[in-house]
Structure 1
């Protein structure tokens, strides 16, 4: 893959793809006008932490296929019509790239946020899946110089896996710009605010929230890969069922925090564990006691100092981004140990400061991150988390201690399902 604009098809060459751009142009501010998939914003989670994935067929509804094409119905974009599977795919955040890889179409993606970080992290997981890898070096970072309409025309994509509601909030974008891209270039297919259940911008009153695996089902419709989706969703459902059926009683579970230590080591950015949203699709099923569960922050995360962290004193510290190349776990542990308050944290004293993955997680990442968290939180139940060194791939887990079948996942991704 390359971001050389000359290697892309011109935006006027849409011979193989038609779409419902007129719907966006005429019904954008009405939310999901014309879609059979609109609903009042509400969590689609089952409420038991399973992220709505106990039945793998739930998320692939709303798809209409004929010999002349097919339609994908999704909030907030409405009905989007395709005459063929998109050949050039634009993404911003890596959950959509991971979805494309999981569906066997990763080579179609031309962009992702911080390719080195996203791609390296994904390959840390893919390393354990025979025949699965990501060549990320030619990918364009859509946020390098600000998210611009011009850059989309340079890519000449056939679909934009991004939320038009989110795009409308970016600097330099108006709702007219969003509609123009959909009607003259390629449709939007994405849902950003399901990540946190934060309110969408004005004009999207009918916005629907999806779980990660429901959203994955919608992307599977775009790629016409329902069978792959259902097979992977079953792996996920089995994993969550196994974990949740073996969790100790709530009063015996550890307190935990998911947080990131600032680069200067002076403060923490803290995140909840068990709230709705696909950003928490790896921690919510594990049901740990959130050390900051009663805190309400003015935003999607909080900022706390060492004294507040010591007051919460979690048994387990899950360092978000710790498995990515953006942070060093060795440095993080050193900074905590060298701080007078940090050294008194129970998680530090007991050696339970662990690397966590990325909140922008797709389905494959989610499987590994659920397993990782289960071992870090409940080693006596699911087996201990192995030693991890900075820059390593996801650690090798003994076969009898794996919580899901790597070969089964690899076979699905590579087409043997």
Structure 2
């Protein structure tokens, strides 16, 4: 890790402009000068709430919080730039579980430090000395009491710019300082902007083509709406607590990027909560009585789906749930999903919700790689994705 003293030496200068409210005029567009930065040309990329952000070279060290930004870096051939990762033992292992099915693609995320273990610590940002911070300054202001706009500006000027958009996850409210300049993006719109940061437009476009084809294939083969299951997307709370952390499936936001395209009926659609997620009890779950329970984080190292099923089966109320009785408690992925993760999570969710349409899901064993699926049963081409990531746009 770089020391604070190293800031005294000359280094590439990264300038973030328009961070304060009032930069909305440029917040919705991408203004990147697509010329290669290898010859020293500067370029700008625009995204809310930062506004127009200027770079004089492609970032070599990237402060990354949530896994979707790390997955984007890997997808763009810049995984080595990532120097931190949220919950690395979970995020890193989950990302590698997917990458195991892509020849030549790897990422050692588990060995990275956790940047939010003690919150967003200003001194740590100077220590990491990153060329870019893939973190929304609005997230910092809404979660940290000791941060201010001026401190955010100082870090951008003295270390490296902020480049993130957290509230697009579920279209939650941004910090007051950014309320006038905030805009919401889809996962693939966020990815497009990160691709501009790394000057990897060709890789983005090639992966977006794979995604568009995959999504079109799925949507054109969905059953009629009246034949689709009801689904509850939840995470079972700790042992001894009769609570489910609940999420919607069809609402706006990139946290629903693998469920919304599948058009299943949200069993909890009429249940409201004020935060990014809710809490429901067994009584509410029994009233909703979903056909399928999608257990968020169920494919990560944090949870073993077999144990979740056993806990529900052993619970007096849980055992009465239709999804439990019909063996349709299934492992869902991570809400912090980048483009590669999104492709795999679309596939696994489609197979688990509509096996008659997309083929049976072979199941996933905790701690193991994403399961092998025969070539003719895959919903996207692994070799094509691997070639894009490792060789550029591919053929």
Normalised to the residue count of structure 2, the TM-score between the two structures is 0.94
- 2:161 corresponds in structure 1 to 187
Distance in structure 2 (CA, Å) of the matches to 1:248 and 1:406: 26
- The correspondence of residues 259-408 of structure 1 with structure 2, limited to 5 A, is 259-264=234-239, 266-408=242-384
Q: Does 1:201 align with 2:191?
A: no
Superposition misfits of 4+ residues, deviation over 4 angstroms: none
- The correspondence of residues 159-178 of structure 1 with structure 2, limited to 5 A, is 159-169=132-142, 170-178=144-152
Normalised to the residue count of structure 1, the TM-score between the two structures is 0.89
Distance in structure 2 (CA, Å) of the matches to 1:214 and 1:13: 36
Q: Does 1:37 align with 2:17?
A: no
Note the alpha carbon deviations across 1:183-219, whole angstroms, 9 max, x for none.
1111011111111101111122121111000000000
Q: Does 1:62 align with 2:31?
A: yes
Distance in structure 2 (CA, Å) of the matches to 1:18 and 1:164: 16
Note the alpha carbon deviations across 1:271-301, whole angstroms, 9 max, x for none.
1000000011111011100001122212222
Note the alpha carbon deviations across 1:16-40, whole angstroms, 9 max, x for none.
343235x33xxx132x25x5234xx
Distance in structure 2 (CA, Å) of the matches to 1:149 and 1:237: 40
Distance in structure 2 (CA, Å) of the matches to 1:13 and 1:241: 51
Is the Cα–Cα contact under 8 Å of residues 9 and 156 in structure 1 kept in the other structure? no
- 1:41 corresponds in structure 2 to none
**Which of 16, 22, 30 does residue 20 from structure 1 map onto?**
16
Unpaired runs of at least 5, structure 1 = 39-58
User: Relative contact order (alpha carbons < 8 A, sep ≥ 6): 1 or 2 greater?
Assistant: 1
Is the Cα–Cα contact under 8 Å of residues 21 and 181 in structure 2 kept in the other structure? no
Is the Cα–Cα contact under 8 Å of residues 181 and 187 in structure 1 kept in the other structure? yes
Note the alpha carbon deviations across 1:364-414, whole angstroms, 9 max, x for none.
100000001100100000001112221121111111110000000000000
- Between the two proteins, the alignment pairs up a number of residues equal to 386
- 1:43 corresponds in structure 2 to none
Unpaired runs of at least 5, structure 2 = none
- 1:5 corresponds in structure 2 to 2
Structure 1 position 182, deviation (Å)? 0.8
Is the Cα–Cα contact under 8 Å of residues 11 and 157 in structure 1 kept in the other structure? no
Is the Cα–Cα contact under 8 Å of residues 14 and 159 in structure 2 kept in the other structure? no
Change in CA separation of 1:14 and 1:229 when aligned onto 2, cut-off 3 Å: farther
**Which of 108, 120, 125 does residue 152 from structure 1 map onto?**
125
- 2:188 corresponds in structure 1 to 213
- 2:99 corresponds in structure 1 to 126
Distance in structure 2 (CA, Å) of the matches to 1:9 and 1:135: 28
